[in-house]
Structure 1
């Protein structure tokens, strides 16, 4: 798999590139946001399978780069940064990042996340429709003011369209198909992220927080402490 590593620190990039190469990745190193965007221009060769994006770049903030990448391609983006606060995580995911890894990280953790995001878009790059194909077509799901159109992957609240990332939609659709039923964290991670790796749990929490914020219905998704989450239909 071809992988684009966006990292301005040559020492960090060299060490990480060596590890990735040992695990079968063909790494292209970009030292700035502009280099990364140029590398992602349409190319007759094989597309990148994943972008590893540092946020502290010399020419522009990594969040801005992520937004520009998402307008250009649906290639999975994993943000790799020292910014550990929840606000930054949510912001990155809202911009279209597929995952968020905080430095310092375990190499095994990073490799697991790369494989997790690449599995859901294979084969090829895969657009939003392909990436979420596991939800499947069906009748619209209505939960009070929330309407979820599975075939078009569109969500509206009181008739207003709410922009969700691929994983946010998949998470909401999963819970909405069985309102009131508690989904274990492990089950959600398995069905939405297609992995059993425990470290994805933190990403799940961030996605839930982002959904509550975007839908402006914080009580819609209830946390069942020690178990998981369930969707509570408004008025239920």
Structure 2
């Protein structure tokens, strides 16, 4: 990976560079917005696999830089901060950040989250399949249709979005928190069962279209869900 790390703490920059577990990765550092701009010039921002961005810099806030990054590229952005309540973190994610990590953070955790964001971005940047086979039925992504041997069902926007997010993970588990943000554009609240309700509806619909369709969506206890397609 090629990573842009923007933080005004010299000790953090050196710690990350020295402790990064993958020696083949390239880490480009910047200590201010002005320095970061050189790497975010038009045509260059897309060179990075991920951008790690401190929320408080001497010449600009992280949210300002995030806005500038999003004008230039859809490269994953991970925000770093020593503060931020739940609502602020949710607002930052909704503004275009891909992850929000509280300081202090372990280098291996930072590497793992960076790698995850980069790989997910590569998957999403790949051409999306127009039709996904689930058992003996087909999910037509753009048309939001489930087609079986005997009938076709039009999915709601949320149902189609949920099924698409699970399908794009290629059989890997998708975190419950990520599904709430991607499907409902909000964080899960305590006691909120919206996701479970939609998963139940999709299982019922899949079961109507293909044998054992309900079993296609597996619950990963304590994590989220995955689609066997």
TM-score of the two chains, using structure 2 as the length reference: 0.62
In 2, distance between residues paired with 1:27 and 1:59?
22
Describe how 1:111-122 pairs up with structure 2 within 5 A. Answer: 111-122=111-122
Matched, 1:60 2:60: yes
Contact 2:45 2:69 in 1 (8 A): no
Q: 1:81 aligns to what?
A: 81
1:79 aligned counterpart, secondary structure = strand
Work out the CA distance in 2 between the residues paired with 1:92 and 1:231: 30
Determine the C-alpha separation between the residues in 2 that align with 1:57 and 1:21. 26
Q: Is the 8 A contact 2:7 2:13 kept in 1?
A: yes
**Secondary structure, aligned partner of 2:63:** helix
Residue 116 of structure 1 contacts residue 195 of structure 1 at CA under 8 Å; is this kept in 2?
no
Establish whether residue 130 from structure 1 lines up as the match of residue 125 from structure 2.
yes
Distance 1:37 1:222 in 2: 41
Superimposed CA distance per residue, residues 154-180 of structure 1 (whole angstroms, 9 cap, x where no aligned partner): xxxxxxxxxxxxxxxxxx744267xxx
Range that drifts further, 203-212 or 97-106: 203-212
Aligned residues: 182
Match in the other structure for 2:207: none
| RMSD value, Cα | 4.0
Runs of 4+ in 1 over 6 A off after TM superposition: none
SS in 2 for 1:122: helix
Matched with 1:139 is 143
| Distance 1:64-1:204 versus aligned 2 partners, 3 A rule | same
What is the alpha-carbon distance in structure 2 between the residues aligned to residue 20 and residue 49 of structure 1? Answer: 15
Q: Indicate yes or no: 2:202 matched with 1:207.
A: no
Report the Cα distance in structure 2 between the residues aligned to 1:134 and 1:57, rounded to whole angstroms: 41
Gaps of 5+ in 2: 132-140, 146-153, 203-229
Distance 1:175 1:65 in 2: 30
Query: What's the offset of the Cα at 1:209?
Result: 9.3
Task: Specify whether residues 122 and 130 from structure 1 end up closer, same or farther in structure 2 by C-alpha distance, changes over 3 A only.
Answer: closer
Aligned to 1:154: none
2:130 and 2:11 mapped to 1: Cα distance?
42
Residues 12, 175 of structure 1: alpha-carbon distance in 2 compared, 3 angstrom cutoff: same
Q: Which residue of 1 aligns with 2:194?
A: 222
Contact 2:180 2:195 in 1 (8 A): no
Match of 1:184? none
TM-score (norm 1): 0.60
Once the two structures are TM-superposed, the CA of residue 106 in structure 1 deviates from its matched residue by 2.6
